[in-house]
C-alpha cells in the first residue's frame, strides 16, 4: 500500500498491511503482516475482539510502555522496544487478564502470536528492523 489515505484507512480498520519486522541480530523474520496502533482509538482496541492471532501477524502499539491482556482470548508474546529499536523486555506467552509492569524506556510494544519469540530466538538486547 502507498502512504496515501489507503494506508491510514487500513491501519484505522486494523487490517494488516505488508511490512516486515526483522530481528537484525538473529537475521530472522518476526512478522510480515503488521497492524499499527498509533491513534487513541486503535491503541485502545489493540487485539480486543480478535478470535485468533495467526503466525506472521503482529501489532505495533506506539507510543507504549505497558500493556494489559484483559478480555483477550489467547496468550501473546510481547516485545518492549526502545528508541534505538533494541528489545528492552521480552514476555513470552503472556496469558489473558494480565497487566505488565511499566517499562519507562520503551517507545513501542510489539505483540506477536505466542511462540514466535521462542521460534525466532528473540532476546533482550536484540536489534529490530521495522
What Rg, from alpha-carbon coordinates, does the chain have? 14
Q: What phi and psi, each to the nearest 5 degrees, are found at residue 105?
A: -90, 0
Cα 106 from Cα 82, distance rounded (Å): 5
Q: Which of 65, 8, 1, 63 is nearest to 33 (CA)?
A: 1
86-113 average pLDDT score: 97
Could you give all domains of the chain from N- to C-terminal order, each with its CATH number?
5-129 (2.60.120.1140)
In the prediction, which pLDDT does 10 show?
43
**Residue 114 in contact with residue 74, Cβ under 8 Å?**
yes
In the prediction, which pLDDT does 5 show?
35
Residue 100 has pLDDT above 90, yes or no: yes
Q: Considering the chain, what is the average pLDDT of its residues? A: 88
More confident residue, 50 or 56: 56
**Residue 112 in contact with residue 22, Cβ under 8 Å?**
no
Return the minimum-mean-pLDDT range out of 5-14, 31-40, 111-120: 5-14
- Over residues 109-121, the pLDDT tens digits come to 999 999 999 999 9
Amino acid at each position: 500500500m502507498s502512504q496515501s489515505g489507503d494506508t491510514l484507512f487500513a491501519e484505522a480498520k486494523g487490517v494488516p498491511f505488508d511490512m516486515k519486522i526483522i530481528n537484525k541480530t538473529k537475521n530472522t523474520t518476526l512478522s510480515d503482516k503488521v497492524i499499527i496502533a498509533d491513534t487513541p482509538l486503535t491503541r485502545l482496541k489493540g487485539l480486543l475482539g480478535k478470535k485468533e492471532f495467526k503466525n506472521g501477524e503482529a501489532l505495533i502499539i506506539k507510543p507504549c510502555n505497558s500493556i494489559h491482556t484483559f478480555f483477550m482470548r489467547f496468550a501473546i508474546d510481547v516485545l518492549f522496544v526502545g528508541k534505538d529499536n533494541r528489545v528492552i523486555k521480552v514476555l513470552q506467552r503472556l496469558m489473558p487478564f494480565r497487566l505488565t509492569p511499566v517499562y519507562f524506556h520503551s517507545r513501542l510494544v510489539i505483540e506477536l502470536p505466542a511462540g514466535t519469540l521462542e521460534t525466532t530466538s528473540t532476546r533482550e538486547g536484540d536489534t529490530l528492523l521495522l
